[in-house]
Structure 1
Amino acid sequence: MEGDSGVRSHCCFCSMQCAVRLEAKPSGEGLDLRPDPGFPVAGGRLCQKGFHAHLHVSHPERLTTPLVRRRGGFAAVSWAQALEEAAARLQSIQGRYGAGAVGVFGGGSLTNETAYLLGKFARVALRTPFIDYNGRYCMSSAAAAMNRSFGLDRGLTNPLDDIPAADIILLVGANVAECQPTMMSYFRRAQKRGGRLVVIDPRETATARVADVHLRIRPGTDWILMNGLLRAMIAEGWIDEDFIARRTSGFEAVREAAAPYTPERVEARTGVPAGVVVDLARQFSLAPRGMIFTARGVEQQVRGVDNVQACINLILATGKIGRPGCGFGAITGQGNGQGGREHGQKADQLPGYRSIEDPAARRHVARVWGVDERDLPGPGTSAFEMFQQMTAGRIRGLLILGSNPVASSPHRSLVRRALASLDTLVVIDILPSETARMADILLPGSAWTEQEGTTTNLEGRVILRRQATSPPGRARLDWRILCDLAAALGKGRHFSYSCAEEIFHELRRASAGGEADYFGITYERIERENGVFWPCPDLDRPGQARLFADRFAHPDGRARFFPVSEEGRRPEQPDMEYPFYLTTGRVVDHYLTGTQTRRTERLVRRTPGPYVEIHPETAAAFGIGDGERVRLRTRRGKAEYPAKVTDRIRPDTLFVPCHWEGDECVNQLTDDRLDPISRMPSFKCCAAALEKVGAEHTTSKGEDVHAFSGLREERSSAHSV
């Protein structure tokens, strides 16, 4: 059949991992890409990024030869020279300052094989505890809350096919229509059969515009709203006492913590009207089937774990989990954000989601790797804390693979200082990102069309990309570069593989018996079954698509409630000097820091640059017209953007998309304080000042900081529940 021609693969962008077919053009130059309707996840759909996902692969700026920084700039060298120099520099640093003086920074878009190998490289080839990855900025808050409550972190506890059966769905801080566009069809199917979609977000996003209910919550108050919903459920007798008694523990502490959050108090703190709080609590509780999904809007905060925990408490209190149309999901952002966090890129983790501090886990993985368990390092620090270690002089060398932390990290100026302070920075990438341009040694890696390997989508389905093209010029496959560098470091015997599938077989053994057990998954099964869900410990049995039908992953089989109270860090609050909330997020045309999508002309034409969304009332108060330049200031820096005046944002809130580098990078401004549990930075909520460029007018210190609270506007615009 014509539709079966070409190489089967999956889009490199979001966590839906939509299926595509890749085929060489008749001219022999480049690839044709089309959706693959034979794969169940997206039903043959692609978003605009997906249709153009192959174009950056052949961009003229593609890195094709190893480069070493010499006086006057980069010089092209042979692979032998580049690897020899990289190994010598890293060994020299470790010889002078110890193994922990070199760190490793990975990415959530790497294949499972490469992510696994990077973790092994850090702990075996370098023997350093310092490894983390950009997924720390994505899923860490949700992962921490799910592990605490369920004993297991898999983004969605249900397969996507369960969503249309829901009678009510809460999307909390999730702009699915722009971040995972092909996922929207599942929510629309639920609506068509009578289900209600409720979006909780300070902005009227593309997702909110198709919702039945949109609540414009005040930034940073999500956990307060969830506590208020729970309190209303308890007060009205709408909770599932039987489920709580049979399958959970810790509810009494949660009952006590929720008690102060009356509807009136919630309204005063969040801006959501008291009547709406009670109505939503009733509708969610009494619906036969309900689901809650969170994303970066609530997770990228200093109380990100609390926000997610409060959502999980609602699911457990109503017994809505473990069956079709009932469950919790944290919507993974990056292409392999799920698999990337399971097999060793995190600072405290070994393959299979094992703890690096667990003696049994260390023994198991050491046996698979053929090393002495005493030689495995302990836990390191989180992603942003690694940059703090650099500024303190403790980390003096760094290897980065497939990530652009200069643009993606908070407090960009600190990260730039940290990288500039290093004795040696080695970067493996395909395009000259802002981070890559700071490298001392720049190694050309492989794009998604050139790699063979597995990824794990947002529902926990392990899928397979097949190689369609070869890396251009002298570029090499990412996993091959790691093996070659390990050999240059004298550890080649531990990194001797002939193909990606060989690495995957070792990953299977390393993960066996862990929480994220891949042992029963093979390339052949993935192709035959259109992907295999984990956990899958047995070659002869299917993976587990729906979790927690009978028991949770804690040893006693019970889920855990955790109270969320006023104790803990508060988001940075507006004050006289910085009277607005600043939040960030994605737009549909771009992905992460834009290294790939900003090199795709068709996407750039649609969204050529960043902007700041400003409510008309706010714009009028500052004399700002649509398109005029404005300056934002926070306690970390300042940046200028054109104004986009829109009533789709609260008057007290400003929004800037996050996909640009340099002077346009919004992470010059964002808050670098971390959630105490997940170590997630507070990208989504900080205090900011606004001024029109060329004008002296700013909010004066004597002006009421609540002038832009937006409560009046919010009440009138919130859909009725």
Structure 2
Amino acid sequence: MTELLLKYFRTKQKEVQSEKTYDTQCPFCSMQCKMQLIEQTIVTRKKYTAVGKDNPTTKGRLCMKGMNAHQHALHSERITHPLLKKNGEFVRVSWDEALRFIKERVMSIQVENGHDAVAVYGSASITNEEAYLLGKFARVALKTKHIDYNGRLCMSAAATAANQTFGMDRGFTNALTEIPKTRVIMLAGTNIAECQPTMMPYFEEAKENGAYIIVIDPRETATANIADLHLKLKPGTDAALANGMLKIIIEKRLTDEAFIKQRAAGFEDVKRHVASLSLEEISEQTGVPIEQIRKAAVKFAKEDTGMLFTARGVEQQTDGTAAVRNLLNILISVGKIGKFACGYGAITGQGNGQGAREHGQKADQLPGYRSIENERDRAYIADVWGIAEEELPKKGVSAYEMIKKVHEGEITGMFLMCSNPAVSNPNAHFVKAALKKLKFFAVIDLFISETARLADVILPASSYLEDEGTMTNVEGRVTLREASRPCPGEARHDWKIICDIADALGKGRFFRYESAEEIFQELRKASRGGIADYSGITYKRLRKEGGILWPCPETEHPGTERLFETEFAHPDQKAKMCAVPNEPAVKKDRPTEEYPLYLTTGRVMPHYLTGVQTRRSASLAARHFESFVEIHPNTAAKYQIADRVLVKIESKRGRIIVRSKWSESIRPDTVFVPMHWADSQNVNSLIAEDLDPSCKMPGFKVCAVRISPLDDKIVNKLS
């Protein structure tokens, strides 16, 4: 038998004519798992296998998305040469013709409408170098104040809340390795098991070690399955629930008085506010029984160590910033921050959601998390860039507000990089209508996405296999993504495309780079002394150490594993607590008689963001090839909806058609639809355009809808 096996393997080995390996990182979630793609040529075909590589964050783990990521990177629909729209159709053109077209359109718009008439819409999926360069491109090459990015729809509420509370925002205040050693964990609005699967073992290990896990979510998700206590609240009532917990903690005298006195400000205001609230009313508002609220509050307060984690379920609301701040009030009130196994984690969604917001893509920020409104910060960055401080534009507006300005005619030209706002933004029909009004629209991407269809010119970008650079993962650890596979066809590295456009616009002298590493060297200088200080990080160190947690101000500095051990980042070194109302200042889209159900949105494991990449992976698309609505059987019966049939969901903004999926894991007053599909299944076409006043986050997680069986005539037409 052994001889037969050896003969078989020798035969197979001979069939492999060549083998190449490519070191890289998964392009999807914020865990940024290290991986290697093995390319084998077997007779006349190629075989690809992805394997995880050991690293400080994920220890060599990969999920199904990482294992199949190469399928989209190698897909036949990849854009491999510039495309220019002529007579309504995209035709192949040379780089010279595409860049000439861009130059003519941009200069024409700027002469006619001014510099601010051209906007830049960035991405949290690009590298730190490219995020940095895109901010520089907007402000130096275009001289526009209008730049923002798709991370505004993802992390802005948590980032704003952390900045307001702690004085700085790094996704996690502690390293992931502390999670298994904590005694109580609160997971608010996060479904880690499906969104960041390779992070889940940290929580499972904590559970095995005896940690008590509290989950706050309207649905019984795969993450909620590990909970000791599941608070199944009504969508959009997180701030009120936190007030209930605070009230119990304070009234039962479970606060850490010494910590509050020494390290916090604003506690008395919070104390007075929650004293005026009724637990009965909070229970009614949230749908969570008082005894469950009490149990969660007491358990979290009494354990020696504890950690809080939030994600989109809490943050994507019109009071998302306030809701996160109120949860942080709980954390501060019991002194569980800045200590071993005590801290906060904002679970980033996109691959570089952390790093992409630190170095200049946000409307109000300059590299290093500096403020564009601060004179000292402006002067420092202007000096790094070799321009006068007065040449730097001032603060612009958020991503969705830029779309509004397009609709109003104030913005008439736009560059968009690796994003799909026609699907990802709220009130998606409005977004499409606005983008169609642009005099000039350039898209840099891998595929002709739903948004790219509307472009005048599309430039072929590089994938995770080809585009080297640094990424900053969920815990604030800067990693180096190696990428040695050649770009296909005429595709170029994203950073090179930015430089080429700047050169065409006559600003090439500010964008003379030969490599991603050279850009990083400038980024290090630009971030020095800022909140997000990368100046002590080098490519050499990243290759040797596998990743470094910022801030890291010197090359001998080991990186900062735990924040706020002795002080917070405000001038007085104290954390800021604040009283948060049960009801938001911006009214939420609550159920009415006409639209009686809550709609909430989210992800499913095989897909990522708007599905532009994962829907082009055969292995991933096969697991979820169409969208669906998760609905409680009792609710389905009420509205005469069978299981696994096409249904119509309507809000005040529009309607979608998806397939029903009965589930007892969701509240009867709530339905859930994933966000990864476009066109007639784009759930964001139902979402209101109201924004969080603090961070400008849309309220994706709370929308009033009605649901009904699809008319037989429509079903027959679709089939």
Sort the TM-score into its range (normalised by shorter chain). Answer: over 0.9
Distance 1:279 1:198 in 2: 10
Correspondence for 1:494: 510
Residue 648 (structure 1) aligned to one of 640, 645, 665: 665
The answer (yes or no) to whether the contact 1:232–1:262 under 8 Å persists in 2 is: no
1:55 aligns with 2:71: yes
User: Where in structure 2 are the equivalents of 1:191-230 lying within 5 Å?
Assistant: 191-230=207-246
Residue 189 (structure 2) aligned to one of 170, 173, 186: 173
C-alpha distance after superposition, 1:116-149 (max 9, x if no partner): 0000000000000000000000000001100001
* 1:26 Cα deviation from its structure 2 partner: 3.4
Residue 532 (structure 2) aligned to one of 500, 503, 516: 516
Distance 2:469 2:584 in 1: 44
User: Where in structure 2 are the equivalents of 1:635-714 lying within 5 Å?
Assistant: 635-694=652-711
User: Where in structure 2 are the equivalents of 1:97-136 lying within 5 Å?
Assistant: 97-136=113-152
The answer (yes or no) to whether the contact 1:121–1:482 under 8 Å persists in 2 is: yes
Name the SS for the 1:606 alignment partner. Answer: coil
* 1:72 Cα deviation from its structure 2 partner: 4.2
The answer (yes or no) to whether the contact 1:303–1:570 under 8 Å persists in 2 is: no
The answer (yes or no) to whether the contact 1:163–1:324 under 8 Å persists in 2 is: no
Correspondence for 2:32: 17
Correspondence for 1:364: 380
Distance 2:187 2:67 in 1: 26
Correspondence for 1:137: 153
Correspondence for 2:9: none
Distance 2:76 2:21 in 1: 25
Correspondence for 1:621: 638
Distance 1:509 1:536 in 2: 12
TM-score by length of 1: 0.95
Correspondence for 2:595: 578
Correspondence for 1:705: none
Q: How many residues align?
A: 693
* 1:260 Cα deviation from its structure 2 partner: 3.0
TM-score by length of 2: 0.95
The answer (yes or no) to whether the contact 1:674–1:680 under 8 Å persists in 2 is: yes
Distance 1:504 1:181 in 2: 30
Residue 277 (structure 1) aligned to one of 288, 293, 302: 293
Change (3 A) 1:291 1:601: same
C-alpha distance after superposition, 1:655-682 (max 9, x if no partner): 1000011111111101210000000000
Name the SS for the 1:104 alignment partner. Answer: strand
Distance 1:320 1:508 in 2: 32
The answer (yes or no) to whether the contact 2:373–2:395 under 8 Å persists in 1 is: yes
Letter in 1 for 2:392: L
Residue 431 (structure 1) aligned to one of 436, 444, 447: 447
**Sequence identity (%):** 50
User: Where in structure 2 are the equivalents of 1:290-301 lying within 5 Å?
Assistant: 290-301=306-317
Distance 1:130 1:670 in 2: 24
Letter in 1 for 2:688: D
Residue 52 (structure 2) aligned to one of 33, 36, 39: 36
Change (3 A) 1:490 1:169: same
Distance 1:214 1:5 in 2: 48
The answer (yes or no) to whether the contact 1:16–1:335 under 8 Å persists in 2 is: yes
Letter in 2 for 1:491: K
* 1:243 Cα deviation from its structure 2 partner: 0.1
* 1:215 Cα deviation from its structure 2 partner: 1.4
Correspondence for 1:162: 178
Name the SS for the 2:630 alignment partner. Answer: strand
The answer (yes or no) to whether the contact 2:306–2:343 under 8 Å persists in 1 is: yes
* 1:41 Cα deviation from its structure 2 partner: 1.1
User: Where in structure 2 are the equivalents of 1:221-620 lying within 5 Å?
Assistant: 221-565=237-581, 566=583, 568-620=585-637
Letter in 1 for 2:26: C
Distance 1:560 1:399 in 2: 38
* 1:562 Cα deviation from its structure 2 partner: 1.5
Distance 1:155 1:30 in 2: 39
* 1:31 Cα deviation from its structure 2 partner: 7.2
Change (3 A) 1:63 1:31: farther
The answer (yes or no) to whether the contact 1:263–1:275 under 8 Å persists in 2 is: no
Correspondence for 2:14: none
C-alpha distance after superposition, 1:578-636 (max 9, x if no partner): 11111100000100000000000011111111011111111111111001121111111
Letter in 2 for 1:627: R
Distance 1:542 1:170 in 2: 29
The answer (yes or no) to whether the contact 1:5–1:21 under 8 Å persists in 2 is: no
Change (3 A) 1:58 1:34: closer
Distance 2:223 2:667 in 1: 16
The answer (yes or no) to whether the contact 1:30–1:58 under 8 Å persists in 2 is: no
* 1:25 Cα deviation from its structure 2 partner: 2.3
C-alpha distance after superposition, 1:12-58 (max 9, x if no partner): 10000111013332359767443334212112111110111111111
C-alpha distance after superposition, 1:467-520 (max 9, x if no partner): 231111111111001000000000000000000000000000001111000000
Distance 1:318 1:269 in 2: 25
Q: Which runs of 5+ in 2 are unaligned?
A: 1-18, 714-719
Distance 1:564 1:367 in 2: 41
The answer (yes or no) to whether the contact 1:343–1:350 under 8 Å persists in 2 is: yes
Distance 1:164 1:35 in 2: 25
* 1:437 Cα deviation from its structure 2 partner: 1.1
Letter in 1 for 2:549: F
Distance 2:569 2:329 in 1: 16
The answer (yes or no) to whether the contact 1:11–1:20 under 8 Å persists in 2 is: yes
* 1:7 Cα deviation from its structure 2 partner: 3.8
Name the SS for the 1:25 alignment partner. Answer: strand
Distance 1:293 1:302 in 2: 19
Higher mean C-alpha displacement, 206-215 vs 240-249:
206-215
Higher mean C-alpha displacement, 26-35 vs 87-96:
26-35
Distance 1:342 1:29 in 2: 43
Letter in 1 for 2:700: F
Higher mean C-alpha displacement, 170-179 vs 271-280:
271-280
The answer (yes or no) to whether the contact 1:460–1:545 under 8 Å persists in 2 is: no
The answer (yes or no) to whether the contact 1:20–1:33 under 8 Å persists in 2 is: no
Change (3 A) 1:223 1:156: same
Letter in 1 for 2:412: R
Distance 1:474 1:34 in 2: 25
Distance 1:340 1:695 in 2: 47
Distance 2:668 2:709 in 1: 16
Name the SS for the 2:143 alignment partner. Answer: coil
C-alpha distance after superposition, 1:625-657 (max 9, x if no partner): 001121111111111111111111111101100
Name the SS for the 2:249 alignment partner. Answer: helix
Distance 1:77 1:477 in 2: 18
Distance 1:112 1:72 in 2: 35
Name the SS for the 1:671 alignment partner. Answer: coil
